[in-house]
Amino acid sequence: MNDYEDLGGGLYCFRVTTREHTQMIDITGRIREIVNASGVQEGLCTVFIPHTTAAVTINENADPDVQLDFIKEINKIVPWNDGYRHYEGNSAAHLKSSIMGFSETVILHEGQLLLGTWQGVYLLEYDGSRTRKVYVKILQS
Amino acid sequence: MNDYEDLGGGLYCFRVTTREHTQMIDITGRIREIVNASGVQEGLCTVFIPHTTAAVTINENADPDVQLDFIKEINKIVPWNDGYRHYEGNSAAHLKSSIMGFSETVILHEGQLLLGTWQGVYLLEYDGSRTRKVYVKILQS
Amino acid sequence: MNDYEDLGGGLYCFRVTTREHTQMIDITGRIREIVNASGVQEGLCTVFIPHTTAAVTINENADPDVQLDFIKEINKIVPWNDGYRHYEGNSAAHLKSSIMGFSETVILHEGQLLLGTWQGVYLLEYDGSRTRKVYVKILQS
């Protein structure tokens, strides 16, 4: 059974359940699975997060301390409480998501994601725990 | 009469006049109009801002307080005055634009922008008021 | 002799040697050279950085003070030393890279990069000096 939906036309979707309020989750393997299934050799892979309090970035996939530092420092730059007016209380999550961005475009080459040696693609949860959707669009060139 | 120019080959352009020094303007409706006119069902929609003191992001389109918090907090993180050397005095606008980014890529599916329920696309003005250009490129897959 | 490798299928690669720890390097001319060589008239140009401590952005290409302000201010927002745990000591470089982003998508129109008058594409070095790779993918539409 696949861990993703094939929506046709090179569009795929999968879900990630986050467990913490602020969390980084490596989704590289799940994107790779889709790239393999698509059979596309050369093109672009666009990863898109259809939320406003979660985002996507690329980061080091080796030392887990990088992720701890990453979360701690961005929370310091955009504090959770800072006199915000928004009634839901999650304005910091909106801003952090916009700073990080809602999409990553990765080049496809010889049927693989053209990532650097240390690069992994991460879902960034800023207002969890929740179930998040990730769209992946594979474009053949 | 259309509110945009059709430059051919799936490329479109429209203008936004900003009224304040720092402002977020929802441009989702104007992008939708172009997507509809293009007739493209499956593909990618790239929104590109050809400026260095304005940017584009995705944010919540429900409570207007999110936008107030967003503007206030980013202005706190990157203060307008901070001993900058640039003679035009708008270095903060350059940095804020780079942090937010000059393009958004949104997937097209069944002739629609594949945005999440609460997502809207926003032009970010950081050195207004001005008339800003927005390019939209529709790519069929 | 070319200053880049042609990897086939519209994919190109070039290298940039940085000289300082934190540096902004204008790579617009090198991307233009690739766009010209490709002969593509209409499409998208994706610039991708396969590293985790370097990034890419667009910024003003006129007054060099903009770059000095840019570097100084982002270093203030994400300080090099801030009690990070990562053993390599470069957590700030990882976070700054994620904030700025690892790719830029620029529209191609009439065989040219559709940049604004003042826009240049910059490699951002946050943990130099090093030799960095830049991938450029040209997609015809």
Q: Which residues pair with A105 in a beta bridge?
A: A46
Q: Token digits for A19? A: 């467990």
Q: What is residue C22's predicted lDDT score, i.e. its pLDDT? A: 97
Q: Is C127's Cβ below 8 Å from some Cβ in B?
A: no
Query: How many CB atoms within 10 Å of residue A127?
Result: 21
Q: Is B62's Cβ below 8 Å from some Cβ in A?
A: no
For A23-53, how does the pLDDT look when each residue is reduced to its tens digit (9 = 90+)? 999 999 999 999 999 999 999 999 999 999 9
Pairing of β C43-48 and β C23-26: unpaired
**Shortest CB distance from C107 goes to which of B11, B52, B77?**
B11
Q: Looking at residues C49-71, what average pLDDT do you find?
A: 95
SS3 C121: strand
Query: How many CB atoms within 10 Å of residue B6?
Result: 13
Q: How far is CA B43 from CA B31, B37, B39, B77, in A?
A: 14, 14, 11, 36
Query: How many CB atoms within 10 Å of residue B110?
Result: 11
Q: What is residue C35's predicted lDDT score, i.e. its pLDDT? A: 98
Q: Token digits for A72? A: 């701690």
**How close, in Å, is residue A39 to chain C by CA atoms?**
16
- The model's confidence at residue C39, banded by pLDDT at 50, 70 and 90, is very high
Q: What is residue A58's predicted lDDT score, i.e. its pLDDT? A: 98
**Shortest CB distance from B116 goes to which of A50, A88, A92?**
A50
Instruction: Judge: B119–A95 Cβ closer than 8 Å, yes or no.
Output: no
Q: Is B68's Cβ below 8 Å from some Cβ in A?
A: yes
Outline where C1-141 has alpha helix (H): 28-38, 65-77, 91-100
Asked if residues B9 and C42 have their Cβ atoms less than 8 Å apart, the reply is yes
Residue among A26, A2, A28 nearest A136 (CA): A28
B39 dihedral zone (left: phi>0; alpha: psi -120 to 50; beta): left
For A50-95, how does the pLDDT look when each residue is reduced to its tens digit (9 = 90+)? 999 999 999 998 899 999 999 999 999 999 999 999 989 999 999 9
Asked if residues A47 and A134 have their Cβ atoms less than 8 Å apart, the reply is yes
Q: What is residue A1's predicted lDDT score, i.e. its pLDDT? A: 54
Asked if residues C103 and C27 have their Cβ atoms less than 8 Å apart, the reply is no
What is the helix, strand, coil percentage profile of chain A, to 5? 25, 40, 40
Q: Which of A84-88, C78-82, C113-117 has the lowest mean pLDDT?
A: A84-88
Asked if residues A44 and A108 have their Cβ atoms less than 8 Å apart, the reply is yes
The length of chain B, given as a count of residues: 141
Q: What is residue C1's predicted lDDT score, i.e. its pLDDT? A: 54
Interface B–C counts its CB contacts (< 8 A) at 96
Residue identified by tokens 């359940």 is: A17
pLDDT over 80 at C87, yes or no: yes
Residue among C40, C42, C34 nearest C12 (CA): C34
Instruction: Judge: B65–A84 Cβ closer than 8 Å, yes or no.
Output: yes
Q: What is residue B1's predicted lDDT score, i.e. its pLDDT? A: 54
Asked if residues A37 and A1 have their Cβ atoms less than 8 Å apart, the reply is no
Residues of chain B with pLDDT under 70: 1
